[in-house]
Structure 1
């Protein structure tokens, strides 16, 4: 996979940045546009590089303070016809689908972890759908609620914040989960309470909901499934295979557990409510722990800059700016 990077740099750092790009393994093309940037004033470098070399090149550019004095933008072209690109991909170490671009992962998880109206709306709708599946004993509705739930985004962001030490991202993700789930459960409980006088379902409905028994009976497999789902979800984020996330959503019992807690509390089934609350905590904790483990593994195996390279580049950047 070829990635196109657009690097905006001050004129005094242009040569250093262009040299870094040319010397990077896996680079197919480097184009320098002198004076092309108006704000900030400087040059623009366009680089075609294999995905597996992006992170190393980003580290070099960061050592030159390009991220603070200019900018770096990356995108994936829909189509690249170039024998140089094919050669660059072969020369780059590793596989593109296995490589981690940490800034990309942080940005993606950060966008999906915000406590926004859309996040709250999706979580409320998913929890209500789960509640309907519970009172109607509909497995299809429960599975649909799993697919609609947006909770993996903040959980992935929590994992990224732990591995990268980005506590601002972690606080934002914790806020989304800490406010989102109680709000969704409260609204679901209110709707359940209003539905009882309307006769939409009997008070003993939970005794007949055989399809929902797994929700309030957490066990070893609850944790195992959560761990496997968390690992698969984080791998799908890293490898940009979004289709796999649908399977992750369907395999875990987070949203159905939240819906069951709300329904059970309204109906006075406190033991079942406690069991489903435990199921919710087990799933959330298992997913987050597995995601952290996957990221730590990738951090260990990811190729880093040789010792002293970053310091050498910083010294060169300082001399160039004087």
Structure 2
């Protein structure tokens, strides 16, 4: 169940109310007249089945209320309502499967902001990955994977293609590229300092690493793991159920590969640089492709469900006539 909150100019209120009143997925509706100051107008509140959110939002956008007012969607964690239950039963599909595109798109823009927090997490994760390789620790590699913030930007690539938001595509690409460059550059400088102090030797970089060798030795499984991880990650981001997201973060080796690139650059180890770069490219490519394919499939499925919902509503209207 979702809660809808609309601030609408008075001249658009009747259009908004008509859309909500005519939809069987709406279980509760309230209008508070002359209560809004900016924009000057009315407050409209409604409860609706999550499965119908995209159709209702699209129809609200056609009125232009989002340009002159505000449209908000909020998840309702706990609710007790017979009319709400009936609305969910009447609406085709399942709440956990539904994708609220307005929410997904907004989060994609937020996740692709190249801000101080993003760069800090990316740099700290890359530094931790470099240390993990030096001491040959799988636990630290997992820590670096969890700490890395890049998955949101990778998922945004798929959202931008499916929703045809090409400004988001450019933004996500720039955030990923600049984020990795900044993290690798910072880690590279710190590795040089460690080398000068004698804390890091060429043997610790180019020697045998039985626990972390997978970071710079990509194979067919690297690509398959990236595909599976990205598909699971996108599903957890778009679904009402997101418990699998933590598991996704520790299933791919993008940040660890970036840390190893910094180590290789500091010691001029060509094989380390090449292997880690290939691993990074393989993972980013696999994750981007899987993210796009998962979102495209979800869009196709929900387009059919929306069409079925429209046909059901049309039959109901004909019976009333």
Length-normalised TM-score, structure 1: 0.91
Mapped contact 1:28–1:47 kept (Cα < 8 A): yes
- Whether 1:223 and 2:223 are equivalent positions in the alignment is yes
**Cα deviations by residue, 1:231-261 (Å, 9 ceiling, x for unpaired):** 1111011014343221111000100000111
| Residues 1:135 and 2:119 are matched in the alignment | no
- Which range moved further: 188-197 or 128-137? 188-197
- Residue equivalent to 1:315: none
| CA–CA separation in structure 2 for the residues paired with 1:224 and 1:36 | 55
Q: Which region of structure 1 is more displaced relative to structure 2, 240-249 or 270-279? A: 240-249
**After superposition, what is the alpha-carbon deviation per residue over 1:177-213, rounded to whole angstroms, capped at 9, x for unaligned?**
1111011111111111111122223321131322121
Partner of 2:22: 23
Answering whether residue 162 of structure 2 is matched by residue 166 of structure 1, we say: no
RMSD: 1.6
Corresponding residue of 2:299: 299
Q: Counterparts in 2 of 1:226-265, with a 5 A limit?
A: 226-265=226-265
**Partner residue of 1:318?**
none
Whole-angstrom CA distance in 1 between matches of 2:196 and 2:34:
72
Answer whether contact 1:226 1:286 (CA < 8 A) is retained. yes
Q: Which residue of 1 aligns with 2:106?
A: 107
- Structure 2 match to 1:319: none
> Residues 135-214 of structure 1 correspond to what in structure 2 (within 5 A)?
135-205=134-204, 206-214=206-214
Residues 271-286 of structure 1 correspond to what in structure 2 (within 5 A)? Answer: 271-286=271-286
Does residue 47 of structure 2 align to residue 48 of structure 1? Answer: yes
**Matched pairs, number:** 307
Task: For residue 103 of structure 1, report the CA deviation from its aligned partner.
Answer: 0.8
Distance 1:115 1:132 in 2: 25
- Which structure 1 segments of 5+ residues have no match? 310-322
Equivalent residues of 1:25, 1:53 under 8 A apart? no
> SS state of the match for residue 34, structure 2?
strand
- What does residue 290 of structure 2 align with? 290
2-structure distance, mates of 1:196, 1:256: 19
Aligned to 2:267: 267
What pairs with 1:3-14 in structure 2 (closer than 5 Å)?
3-14=2-13
Residues 4 and 74 of structure 2 are in contact (CA less than 8 Å); yes or no, is this contact kept in structure 1? yes
Deviations 1:90-135 (A, max 9, x none): 1111001111111100111211111000000000000000000000
Q: Distance in 2 between matches of 1:242 and 1:120?
A: 25
Distance of 1:43 and 1:201 partners within structure 2: 65
Moved more, 83-92 or 145-154: 83-92
Contact residue 230 and residue 287 of structure 1 kept, 8 A: yes
Output aligned runs, 1:90-129, within 5 Å.
Answer: 90-129=89-128
Is the CA contact (8 Å cut-off) linking 2:191 and 2:200 kept in structure 1?
no
Note the residue ranges of structure 2 that are not aligned, 5 or more in a row.
311-321
- Contact kept, 8 Å, 1:56 with 1:303, in 2: the verdict is no
